[in-house]
Amino acid sequence: MNRDTMTNTGLLLMRLMLAIVFIYHGQGKLFGGLDGFAGYLSSLGVPMPKFAAFMAALSEVGGGLLLLSGLGFRYALWPLVVTMLVASFAAHPGKFSAQNGGMEYALTLGVMVAGLALIGPGDFTIRKLIPARTQATPQEA
């Protein structure tokens, strides 16, 4: 396996695992747990907790789908990074270890997504499976 293939395989593995985690957590909030999550955000003092809960859940599901497909990477993943940073510092302030309720897990997810957004998805994406469009040239009369 050459270096390009190994790099693209590594990026794909990271994208797939992160996608699974975000879709799993986001769908639980988005499809049934939104009120409970909004209540939790309210207890943290987050303004407009229902809206914030919906946006966080949407960023997790949407970001997970973007990670899975490899589309929209450079710009569309930043809301997911912000969501994870807010989770790190609002929900888990002052502690690092996840075993003690700290920010370790959320911060790791956010930094991994930021790194992927900066690097790009690699070559193994949905876009690479779709043939490129070619411009039809007008025929002369």
Question: Residue 95: which domain range?
Answer: 3-128
Decide if 44 is inside a domain: yes
Query: What is the per-residue pLDDT for 137?
Result: 57
Report the amino acid identity of residue 94: G
Q: pLDDT averaged over consecutive 10-residue blocks of the chain (141 residues)?
A: 95 97 96 95 95 97 96 90 95 92 96 96 89 62 45
Q: Is 99 a domain residue? A: yes
Within a domain: residue 139? Answer: no
User: What per-residue confidence (pLDDT) applies to 136?
Assistant: 57
Let me know if residue 137 belongs to a domain: no
Residue 133 counted as domain residue: no
Q: What's phi and psi for 60, nearest 5 deg?
A: -70, -45
pLDDT at 141: 45
- Nearest Cα neighbor of 53 from 21, 28, 18 is 28
Residue of 111, 125, 41 whose CA lies nearest to 77: 111
Q: How many domains does the chain have?
A: 1
Q: Which of 54, 98, 103 lies closest to 79, judged by CA?
A: 54
